[in-house]
Amino acid sequence: MPSLLLLNGPNLNLLGTREPEVYGTETLDDVVALVRATAAELGFSVDALQSNHEGVLIDAIHAARSTASAIVINPGGLTHTSVALRDALTGVALPFAEVHVSDVHARESFRHHSYLSDVATVVVVGEGVAGYGRAVRELVSGLPTG
């Protein structure tokens, strides 16, 4: 069965309790369950990882070269700071979806720039946890079949 890698970056382990007025009350477990259910409907399995450490995320991206068909990533605050994360994603040449629970463009100005959006296959912003499901569907629909 083809596989997707689901990555969630710094502070996303706090979903459901961190600033619920911004991020909602659904948890990271809810995210993983949604992504797994959506992917399963489309014939994909999911490996999921959350880390507050950039290097752990980069190592997972490198390893995905031989295990995954595509990546779904919410890089959290690394979106706005990490050239290294961008380089890892472009370096493995896997299609990827960038997801943000909140509308980063309606928030502080430093959140308006993403180092990933211009190289992402799919970008979903501001749809809450449900945005992960849309990201999976759009990403998978663009993958080669067979």
pLDDT digits (tens, 9 = 90+) for 58-97: 999 999 999 999 999 999 989 988 999 999 999 999 999 9
Q: Cα separation of 35 and 63, whole Å?
A: 20
Cβ atoms 82, 39 nearer than 8 A: no
**Per-residue pLDDT, 146:** 54
Question: Does the annotation mark 115 as catalytic?
Answer: no
**Per-residue pLDDT, 111:** 66
Question: Does the annotation mark 100 as catalytic?
Answer: yes
Mean pLDDT for the stretch of residues 112-134:
93
Q: How many residues does the chain have?
A: 146
Q: Which of 53, 62, 80, 100 is catalytic?
A: 100
Answer yes or no: is pLDDT of 49 > 90.
Answer: yes
Express as a percent the part of the chain with pLDDT over 90.
78
Answer yes or no: is pLDDT of 13 > 60.
Answer: yes
Provide the 10 A C-beta neighbour count for residue 139: 25
